[in-house]
A and B are shown apart, each in its own frame.
Chain A
Amino acid sequence: MPSEPLLELICPAGSLPALKAAVDHGADGVYLGFKDNTNARNFSGLNFDEAAIRQGVEYAHAKGRKVLLALNTYPQPGEVARWQRAVDRAADICMDAVILADPGLMAYAARTHPDLRLHLSVQGSATSYEAIEFYRERFGIQRAVLPRVLSLAQVEAVAANTEVELELFGFGGLCVMVEGRCLLSSYATGDSPNTCGVCSPAHAVRWQQTPKGMETRLNGVLIDRYADDEKAGYPTLCKGRFEVQGETYYALEEPTSLNTLEMLPEMARLGIAAIKIEGRQRSPAYVAQVTQVWRAAIDAVKRAPESFAVAPAWHGQLDKVSEGSMHTLGAYYRPWK
């Protein structure tokens, strides 16, 4: 019987070089998606075709690492079979797990491939142990990725009441909204993460240098305007500057990244099974830099949780690649809310 996983490092890959960078720099697992809207990073030119996935799985497995397939969008009428075939392919390629959000698809996977390990995607929006237990009882999920909305004390209560492994986001782009329940992107552009696998899709994004500064527009809607010396963020609605009652500011969230390095000892104490790094849309250079830092940090916390301290160099390296070059603890730290 293998022992319970603890703080596995799960890293993103949008391409084969990114997967290799993750494996080479110490990821325990890599997650990726096919080249279509069956996953929530459905960007042009990104992701894996069948051949690349097979190569990636071979590369990772040869080094004893896992590969997880994200199938975390919601199938739609007339197209359900495409998502089901994706599950079949995952089983055929010997993926270590599939990450699903849709209950109907989970039922299919559990019925058709009883040996295939199921993870509940963050897009499934399960924030309580009652919800997680629903997916465990019905479909036998073995791990749940929690939305970035709970404080650490709330995470602890969830962990205490379910045997399902928990995976937490550790670093990367920060969704302020409950994942799977955010329609801001489709309100502005017609494409949503749930159905199209994109948030603020590139086809709707326009950046333009103007006399007033660099403007970011989403389907014509002005999301932000940056002066020359200001750091920029992703063109997502929740990171834009808006006017509310005469005051113009980042009304929802600043362009910033989640970074929970300092919470690693707590996460270890809670028995968190895995830490997820966001960023399948990022380049191999980012994957290498971030994986390297997190590998060192997780090794340090496992070696000596009491004396764990965040090395200043880690923050420096991570902030360098962060949105807005800033980081936050997000909802894990209660006052953020």
Chain B
Amino acid sequence: MQLPAIPRPLARVVGALPAFPASLAFSAAGNLAAWPALRGLDWGEVRGRRFCVHVRDLGLKLYFSVGRKGFVPEVASSADVTFTATTEDFVRLGLRLEDPDTLFFNRRLLIEGDTDLGLRVKNMLDGVEFEELTRRLPAGLGQVVTGLRQRAQMQA
């Protein structure tokens, strides 16, 4: 699936944003969209650890941790584990169109820091059924996401 490339000027603007507001927005969005489907997972070993999602093409680093009530934005410049990929690849991972190992072999996904923590989260998320995720999304959004995924699968 071809997702539109991010226009360069936009990337520059986004990359220049201070990290915390972006992390805040990301965590808020995550709590709204994904947390209802994820709250039931066994987060015990993960609580309090700091994650960084580094969106390479946007030059954007999002820091957060997982607390009892969902994602918590972090003011930080370091994390226990950092995932680096492009916007498109993160989206493809999110839509379950791509296997993380495949992206890793192709150097499109980098996991730095605590590898065990990174793989644990990856495996935990793999254990959630896609339908379960979309079913709990706010009305409308679920349909959009499902539609996107189906279109991409048909194109593959």
Contact = CB atoms under 8 A, between A and B. Distances in A.
Partners in one complex: yes
B77 interface: no
B119 A45 contact: yes
Contacts of A282: 99, 101
B120 A209 contact: no
A228 interface: yes
Contact of B127 (A45, A206, A229): A45
Contact of A17 (B110, B115, B129): B129
A234 B129 CA distance: 26
Interface string A303-337: 00000000000000000111111000000000000
Given A17-B128, A285-B97, A325 B105 contact: yes
Interface string B92-105: 00001111111011
A255 B106 CA distance: 12
B155 interface: no
Chain A contact-residue range equals 35 or more
B105 A20 contact: no
Given A15-B126, A17-B128, A324 B105 contact: yes
Looking at B102, B106, B122, B126, which has the most chain A CB atoms within 10 Å of its CB?
A: B126
A231 to B, nearest CB: 6
B16 interface: no
Contacts of B2: none
Given A14-B123, A15-B123, A228 B107 contact: yes
Contact of A233 (B105, B110, B111, B124): B105
Contacts of A231: 105-107
A320 B156 CA distance: 12
A16 B102 CA distance: 20
Given A15-B127, A44-B120, A44-B123, A205 B105 contact: no
Contacts, number: 99
Contact of A209 (B112, B126, B129): B112
A226 B106 CA distance: 11
State the main secondary structure of chain B at its contact with A.
Answer: helix
B105 A214 contact: no
B101 A207 contact: no
Contact of B105 (A18, A52, A209, A322): A322
A201 interface: yes
Given A44-B123, A45-B122, A209-B110, A283 B115 contact: no
B56 to A, nearest CB: 11
A202 B119 contact: yes
B149 to A, nearest CB: 11
A214 B130 contact: no
A281 interface: yes
Nearest to B104: A232
A115 interface: no
A39 to B, nearest CB: 14
Nearest to B119: A202
Contacts of A283: 96, 99-101, 122, 126
Interface string B128-156: 11100000000000000000000000000
Contacts of B117: 44
B107 A320 contact: no
A226 B107 contact: yes
Contacts of B127: 15-17, 45, 52
Interface in A252-285: 255, 281-285
A285 B123 contact: no
Contacts of B111: 207
A202 B45 CA distance: 15
A203 interface: yes
9 contacts: A17-B130, A20-B129, A43-B120, A45-B120, A207-B110, A232-B105, A255-B105, A283-B100, A285-B102
Interface of A: 14-18, 20, 43-46, 52, 201-203, 205-209, 214, 226, 228-234, 255, 281-286, 289, 320-325
Given A16-B129, A321-B101, 10 more contacts: A17-B128, A45-B119, A203-B115, A228-B107, A231-B106, A233-B105, A283-B100, A286-B102, A323-B105, A325-B106
